[in-house]
Amino acid sequence: VRTLEGMTVRETILVARMFGSHPTTPALAASDVEILLERTGLSEQGDLYGSQLTYIDQKRVELARALATQPQLLLLDEWLAGLNPTELQIGIQLIDKIRREGVTIIMVEHVMEAIRALCDQVYVMNAGELIAQGKPDQVLSEPRVLQVYLGTDDAEA
């Protein structure tokens, strides 16, 4: 997680909005920033600096910054990693909300709870090789997936 030193949450999102896929002026971007703050649950943190934020809020800033560029496709690489159970639920709900708003999301993720809750299609790779693909419950119960991610002893149980 990286926040921009010396910039507030609001300023960080503003810069991303100004130079995203549809560049605009600061004045026009400002209203979009307020919407993004609300959308990502950061309305109360807009005037804070990154060092003042909790870990989940730092991750939300990263997400808001990415959304400010108005992507059609969003890649989330281990975005849910390191969150406690409460934060994980917040993160899953936020990603689900964004997905339902029409943004296509590709996730690289190891949190099985999130995969089951958020993914329509799962691709499992091991050492660069695709070893399974399909619906989450189907893929996550395949013996080869269990063997690779849980180990041989656990896969046989």
pLDDT at 35: 95
Q: For residue 28, which amino acid is it?
A: L
- The one-digit pLDDT tens for each residue of the chain (157 residues) are 677 878 999 999 999 999 988 899 999 999 999 999 999 999 999 999 988 999 999 999 999 999 999 998 999 999 999 999 999 999 999 999 999 999 999 999 989 899 999 999 999 999 999 999 999 999 999 999 999 887 765 544 4
Residue with tokens 């026009």: 28
Angle (CA) 119-123-129 rounded to 5° is 165
pLDDT at 101: 92
Structure tokens at 94: 């936020």
3-state class percentages of the chain: helix first, strand second, coil last, to nearest 5: 55, 15, 30
Contact criterion met (CB below 8 Å) for 10 and 33: yes
